[in-house]
Amino acid sequence: MIEKIKKPYILHLFTTIIASQVYAANPSTATVTVTIPALVQISGLSDISLSPTNFGIAVTGNTTVCIYTNVISPLGSYFVTATSANPSSGAFRVANGSNFITYNAFWNGTSSPTQTTSLSSGTKTTQQSGGNSASLTCSGTPNANFNISLSSAQVLGASAATYTDTVTLVISPT
């Protein structure tokens, strides 16, 4: 009777060894996939306040910003949509009640306040370049510029008052 008990244990031990050898000879693999979406961010945007003193020249103002983007093709690219709270047929306008002054808005893919890309309220620009792909804060160095301009005629033709507009800037990867 003792021999009958030993045989099943030997069979179990043999089965365990065979199963371990089969597993070791046939490894499984897993594929790891990480999908990073196209990301963009604008930071450092400031208000623009103008107080014209020379009415014979255009009145301009600007603010520098940081654009972060991880878009690869081409690296550092993005699109801009600027929308006025007081638009009229694509024009930007500051308002005081029912009085408006139309102004021009521009985007520059560098921190320079030059008027590079003319903006139309609510319309996405062509693809811009120069976004920082390494730092969300551009390491403290602005890399783009939003600027506005009112002609001397626009300023001279307006009634004395404080005029305001809120411009929403949307930076998008596509």
Q: Give CA angle at 92 (90, 96), nearest 5°.
A: 135
User: What is the widest separation between alpha-carbon atoms in the chain?
Assistant: 118
Q: What string of pLDDT tens digits covers the 174 residues of the chain?
A: 445 545 544 444 444 555 555 555 678 899 999 999 999 999 999 999 999 888 889 999 999 999 999 998 899 999 999 999 999 999 999 999 999 999 999 999 999 888 889 999 999 999 999 999 999 999 999 999 999 999 999 999 899 999 999 999 999 999
CATH level 3 topology of 40-172: Immunoglobulin-like (2.60.40)
- Residue 113: is the preceding peptide bond cis (ω within 30°)? no
Are 161 and 74 in contact by the 8 Å Cβ rule? The answer is no
Task: In whole angstroms, give the CA distance from residue 156 to residue 161.
Answer: 12
Instruction: For the chain, give every domain's residue range.
Output: 40-172
